[in-house]
Chain A
Amino acid sequence: MRDQFSLDGKRALVIGASNPIGRAIAVALAEAGADVAVATTTPSKDEETIANSCANEIWALDRKGFAQAIDAADEVDVSALVERTVDELGGIEVLVNAHDLPFAKPVPETEFAEWRRVIDANLGGPFLAARSAGRRMLAHDHPGGSIINVASVLGERGLANGAAYCSAQAGVLNLTRALALEWARDGIRVNAIGAGWTEGMAMAGDDESRAKLERYLPYRRLARPDEIAGIAVYLASDVSAYLTGQVVWVEGGALSHV
């Protein structure tokens, strides 16, 4: 069974490895045998430091990879990142869009520029990366690929003061379905991981709001990032070759609640 799930020989790019879920996915893909390039979503020093340490973990597993700081909502940056991945790793079979720009604000106080920034970062970024990687995966000499978008339970349920973020996340879910249908016969699979409330992710808020959340979740705790990452290995692997256009929710049963 290990062999069937193995990612030996696959080349992956993980954007958003500077947040806990993206980072856990990057490391899990490398553990399963893939070479993994990682990128930030903004050019900030803090994000770059985390991405660099993620690349160190990948090297420690004897896999190839690199870290790059980019603005993941910038066409030129994203396209150059995909090119570098293909150059340095030799190709790209797996793309993980783990973009996450948290944002919460009452709508009457939200500037349109803020709305656009949230939509661009959370939905535009995955679109740009899927477009660049997809162009490469559609090439005649390419074996196809697997694109994995990390979305949130907030793409399925609303949240007060979360209009912009919730709208962007819902967009990611349907970007996933539409792209899956567009590329279904080209050997490119597109799926999403619907992540539940996860430790270290900003939308879970401060300690007080986290404690409240934990009281309501069926597990009475948030997810650990590695618990979100396990499903990424399955989606990246050829073992899920018949799976496309799906959102796989990893949320501890939170969405089962009335």
Chain B
Amino acid sequence: MSVLDKLNLSGKVAIVTGAGRGLGRAMALALADAGADLVLTARTHSQLEETADLVRVKGRPALWVSCDVTDSSSVGAMIDSAISEYGRIDILVNNAGGATPGMDHTLTDITDDEWRVGVGTNLTGAMHCSRVAIPHMLEEGGGKIINVTSGFGFRAARDNFIYTTAKAGLVNFTRALAMTYAPEIQANLIAPGLFPHDNQAMIEWWREGKYTPMGRLGKDEELGPLVVLLASGLTSYMNGQAIVLDGGGLAGGHAPTGFAPVVPLPEAS
């Protein structure tokens, strides 16, 4: 078997949360490209139907289920639908998350509700999904969990309490999954850098990536193959770890991009 054959996901069933658009959609399409059957979830169904159509164009079946990951009974119903449709779960991509109200509030302005919704969306949702999916994975001998965190899961930012705390929590939740369920189940993380998802306002806000070391922003289609990699046999010993796809952002980060100190060279002896 050639090393590239290990990328084949035929016969595998993958759940992608937050699959209506952006990264979730890109990851769902890449998983379909690799041969997986898809379960697509998000809160609003109109975009889900569109993703499902795109998956079917690739020749793979797609079941879409409206689901609020912050609500454990909604997650339970979603997993039940997946099992009644396909009979198994092999891959869970906990991608749902993102900006929530108040995420840029100063500490003293954060309300209880803002904190609860932010942490629920970016951390607790992954726990809800993993908790009910793992027993099904174990029935099939194992599976793969891929949690989507962020550069903010590893570094902090001024007046950014809710999001950074939740995303960092997701990192250690993943490590605990990795240690608990190895080797049957592997749990790893994807940490995307600046990915504007074709949102013009974000592209301008991030100055088209001129402040990232590589000088550009990430493209959604660059994240698709990464999720396939982590769902595949190519990474069978990778567990509890993150791949940070950020154009070099976290490699430096202590000073503005492009900063290089002018240090006098030592005299040649």
Contact = CB atoms under 8 A, between A and B. Distances in A.
Interface of A: 1-2, 4-6, 28, 31-32, 176-177, 180-181, 184-185, 196, 218-221, 223-224, 226-231, 233-234, 239-246, 248-253, 255-257
- Which of B6, B34, B193, B229: most chain A CB closer than 10 A? B229
Contacts, number: 147
A256 B237 contact: no
Contacts of B252: 177, 181, 245
Contacts of A241: 222
Report the contact-size class of chain B (Cβ under 8 Å from the partner). Answer: 35 or more
Contacts of A2: 4-5, 7
- Which of B30, B175, B240: most chain A CB closer than 10 A? B240
Contacts of B4: 2, 5-6, 31-32, 233
A202 B252 CA distance: 32
Contacts of A31: 2-4
A239 B8 CA distance: 16
Interface stretch (B46-54, B176-184, B200-208): B176-184
A245 B251 contact: yes
A147 to B, nearest CB: 13
Contact of A257 (B8, B179, B228, B243): B179
A-B pairs, top 3 by smallest CB distance, nearest first, are A245-B251, A230-B234, A184-B213
Contacts of A219: 182-183, 237, 239
A5 B213 contact: no
Given A230-B234, A233-B4, A248 B241 contact: yes
Nearest to B236: A227
B225 A1 contact: yes
Contacts of A239: 222, 225
B44 interface: no
Given A252-B183, A253-B182, 5 more contacts: A1-B228, A32-B4, A184-B215, A230-B235, A251-B241
A228 B237 contact: yes
B213 A245 contact: yes
A180 B30 contact: no
Contact of A242 (B30, B218, B228): B218
B174 to A, nearest CB: 8
Given A32-B2, A245-B250, A185 B182 contact: no
Given A177-B252, A185-B214, A218-B239, A242 B222 contact: yes
A246 B244 contact: yes
Contact of B238 (A6, A185, A250): A250
24 contacts: A1-B225, A218-B239, A219-B239, A227-B236, A230-B6, A230-B235, A233-B3, A239-B225, A240-B225, A242-B218, A242-B247, A243-B243, A244-B251, A246-B244, A246-B251, A249-B238, A251-B238, A252-B237, A253-B179, A253-B182, A253-B241, A255-B240, A255-B241, A256-B176
Contacts of A257: 179
